[in-house]
Amino acid sequence: MSDYDTVSAEVEHEEEIPEDHPRYQDLLTRHRIENGVEKGITHLQGMHAEGRGSAFDYLLGEETIPSADEAERVAAAHLLLADQPVLSINGNVAALVPSEMVDLADATGADLEVNLFNRTPERIEAIASHLREHGAEDVKGLEADARIPRLDHQRAKVDADGIYDADVVVVPLEDGDRAEALEEMGKTEIVIDLNPLSRSPQVADVPIVDNIIRAVPNMTDHARDLADAGEADLETVVEEFDREAALEAAEERIRNGL
């Protein structure tokens, strides 16, 4: 049977996408983003972001490369060491990995905070409800009672007891100046982005060049493996990480397939 016969023209539920389809992960991702747009969770611009991401993922071989796996372990160690870790959620993240983000928050004691570029009360509420439907108990980002300094767009709006006060922040799927502004606030930043040349991974303490669909569950697995490690061991994991080498390894894979 050809690919054309195995996937129906209009996929209503993701279970209809055959798992043995050679493009399964890409079809699943596209379906979740489309669904997100229909539900008012994902902005239309999120489709462009997804298209860009999937091109890089194709060149990466649609797999978690060893340097990304290491970065995901280091990220887990940072989150376990943190006093106040926060996972930032935009419209693409909410559509792609809602329950996976809730699991990561559970495994690391992190808070979930909605933070949007195209911020409207309706989208904030839709994303918070979507996360609650996937098991989140407390969702931050609705108060927006603090501002990230020197950022003149909607992403500056954060919760005072959330991202504003956090020591470690996970920033997925945004190429922008917020990463630089958070860096200037002295926060430890973990960025998930398939493009190693984006501004966000370029300034991150831990750049993770991997598809968020693979990265987040793997971070959770690492966090569970490291749960009993002592503080000194976690510090060692963090200190041994070479962010430049991780970025170079990803670029090398994308450019030369190596």
- Stretch near ligand PTJ under the rule CB under 6 A, chosen from 12-20, 63-71, 158-166, 192-200: 192-200
Position 91 contacts ligand PTJ (CB under 6 A): yes
Instruction: For residue 219, state whether it binds ligand PTJ (rule: CB under 6 A).
Output: no
Counting residues that bind ligand PTJ (by CB under 6 A) gives: 28
Torsion of CA 200, 153, 117, 111, to 10 degrees: 70
Least distance in Å: CB of 258 to ligand PTJ? 20
Bridge partners of residue 188, in order along the sequence: 168
Tell the smallest beta-carbon distance from residue 96 to ligand PTJ (Å): 6
Q: How far is residue 159's CA from residue 146's CA, in Å, rounded to a whole number?
A: 6
- Of 88, 92, 188, 218, the one binding ligand PTJ by CB under 6 A: 92
H-only helix segments in the chain: 3-6, 24-38, 45-60, 66-81, 91-96, 98-108, 121-133, 178-184, 199-203, 212-226, 231-239, 243-256
Neighbouring-strand partners of residue 191 = 171, 207
Give the three-state DSSP class for 82.
coil
On whether the CB atoms of residues 33 and 93 are closer than 8 A, the answer is no
Taking the complex as a whole, how short is the minimal distance between the CB of residue 43 and ligand PTJ, in angstroms? 4
| Least Cβ distance, residue 92 to ligand PTJ (angstroms) | 5
Q: Which one, 96 or 190, has the nearer CB to ligand PTJ?
A: 96
Looking at the Cβ atoms of 81 and 144, the one nearer to ligand PTJ is: 144
- Judged on CB neighbours under 10 Å (0-12, 13-18, 19+), 221 is middle
Four-CA torsion 75, 106, 100, 206, nearest 10 degrees = -10
Contact pattern from residue 110 through residue 139 relative to ligand PTJ, giving x for each residue in contact according to CB under 6 A and a dash for the rest: ------xxx---------------------
Could you tell me the smallest distance in angstroms from the CB atom of residue 48 to ligand PTJ?
6
φ, ψ for residue 5 (rounded to 5)? -85, -25
Which segment (15-23, 90-98, 101-109, 128-136) binds ligand PTJ by CB under 6 A?
Answer: 90-98
Residue 68: CB minimum distance to ligand PTJ, A: 10
Q: Does 207 interact with ligand PTJ (rule: CB under 6 A)?
A: no
Q: Is 163 in the site for ligand PTJ (CB under 6 A)?
A: no
Phi-psi region of 144 (alpha: psi -120 to 50; beta: other; left: phi over 0): left
Show contacts with ligand PTJ in window 10-49 (CB under 6 A): 29, 43, 45-46, 48-49
- 52 near ligand PTJ (CB under 6 A): yes
Residue whose tokens read 């979740």 = 32
The residues that touch ligand PTJ, with contacts defined as CB under 6 A, are 29, 43, 45-46, 48-50, 52-53, 56, 90-92, 96, 116-118, 173-175, 192-195, 198, 211-213
